Amino acid sequence: MSLLNQLFNRGLLGAKCKTCLNLAISRIKLLQNKRDVQLKQMRKEIAQFLQTGQEAIARIRVEHVIREQNIWAAYEILELFCEFVLARVPILESQRECPSELQEAIASIIFAAPRCSDLPELLQIRNLFTTKYGKEFVSAASELRPDSNVNREIIEKLSIRAPSAEVKLILLKEIAEEYDLEWDSSSTQIEFSKKHEDLLDGTNQLCARAAGSDVPTRQSSLNSKPMSEGCPNMPAKRNQGIQEQIQASTPSKSSVSMISPDRTAPSAMDHKNGQTSDIKTESKSQASDILERARAAIAFAERASASARAAAELVNVKYGSWMQEGKSIQCSNE
C-alpha cells in the first residue's frame, strides 16, 4: 500500500510541477513584453531630459532603467531554467535526490522565487521542491551557501545594490547615441566622480573630532599641573593668584638685606599690635552696645511692673469702695 501511495504522490508531484512550470513560462513571456514597452518609454524620457539640459533628473531615472533591465535579464534566464526543468520532470520523478545536471536550475528557481513578486508560480514550484528534497536543500539555495549552485548572473541581476557610476554613464551614452543627441557628458562625469559624505557614519566623525579637540585640553592640563601641585584641590589660576599675593606680601631678599634686623622686627611687631588694638576696640564697642540694650530692657521691665502695681492698687481701692457701699445698703434695709 505504501508503494502505491509513493507512486501516486510521485505522479501527482510531477503533474503539479509541470503545470506550475508552464504557467511560470507563459507569465515570464508576458512580463517581458510589458517590460520592453516600459523600458522604451523610460529611455525616451531620459533622452528628452538630456536634450533639455535636465541631467540631474536623467541621472536619477537611469537607475530605474538599469534595475528594469536587470530584472528583464533575470527573467530570461529563469525562463530557460524553467523550460529545462520541465523537460526533465520524468527524471525528477524517478530519482530521490536532485540530479547534478539540474541542481543549478532548481537552486536558481528556489533563490529567485521570493525575490520575484510578479511570478507567484515560482513560490509554488519552490514548495514542491521542498517536499521533494527537504528544507535543508531549499535553505541552502535561499541563503546562498557554498554548495547551493545558484547561477551567479541571477544573483547579480536580482541584487538590490545601487549601480556603479560607470554603468550609469555607459547607459546614458548609449541612450544619447540611440536618439542621435549631441550630449556633453563632462558634467555628469564630474558629478559621478564626486565622493559624497556618508551621513550614516556621522557618529564616527563626531567622535574623531571630539578626540582631536581633547588633545590640546589634555596638553594644557599637563602643562598646568606644576602650577597647582601646592594646592591640588584648587584650580590652577586661583592657585597662581594666591602664590602671586604671597610673593607680593613677602619682601624680597634684596629688600630684607638692605633693612637692618633692628628695624624689621619693630615694624612687624607694630603691625601686629595695630591689628590686636583694632580687634579690642571693635570688641569693646560691641560689648557697650549690648550693655546699653540690656539696660534699656531692664528699664522697660521696671516701668511695666510699676504700671501693673498701680493698676492693681486702683482695682483694690474700687473693690473696697464697692464692698462698703453694699454693706451700708444691707444695713439700711434691715
Give the cell for residue 3: 508503494
pLDDT tens per residue across span 214-256: 545 545 444 544 444 444 444 444 455 545 554 554 444 444 3
Q: Quote the CA–CA distance of 42 and 46 in Å, as a whole number.
A: 6
Can you give the pLDDT at residue 235? 44
- Written as one string, the DSSP assignment of 204-240 is HHHHHHHHHHHHHHHHHHHHHTGGGSS-TTS-HHHHH
Residue 7 has pLDDT above 60, yes or no: no
**Four-residue CA torsion sign, 138, 142, 148, 154:** positive
pLDDT tens per residue across span 29-51: 999 999 999 999 999 999 999 99
Residue 6 has pLDDT above 50, yes or no: no
Tell me if 126 sits within 8 A of 113, measured CB to CB.
Answer: yes
Q: For 27, how many CA atoms within 13 A lie in the half-sphere containing its CB?
A: 15
The domain made up of 3-166 has a fold known as Ferritin (1.20.1260)
Record the pTM.
0.56
Can you give the pLDDT at residue 201? 54
Average pLDDT, the chain: 76
Place of cell 533563490: 111
- Written as one string, the DSSP assignment of 151-186 is -HHHHHHT--PPPPHHHHHHHHHHHHHHTT-----H
If we measure between CA atoms, which residue out of 151, 115, 122 comes closest to residue 24?
A: 122
Q: Quote the CA–CA distance of 27 and 29 in Å, as a whole number.
A: 5
**Tally of CB atoms within 10 A around 57:** 14
Which amino acid is located at 219 in the chain? Answer: Q
- Name 86's Cβ contacts closer than 8 Å, sequence gap at least 6: 18, 21, 22, 25
Q: For 225, how many CA atoms within 13 A lie in the half-sphere containing its CB?
A: 6
Give the cell for residue 162: 545601487
Can you give the pLDDT at residue 215? 47
pLDDT tens per residue across span 65-123: 999 999 999 999 999 999 999 999 999 988 889 999 999 999 999 999 999 999 999 99
Q: In the chain, where are the structural domains located?
A: 3-166
% of the chain exceeding 90 in pLDDT: 40
pLDDT confidence of 192, banded at 50, 70, 90? confident
Q: How many angstroms from the chain centroid is the CA of residue 236? A: 37
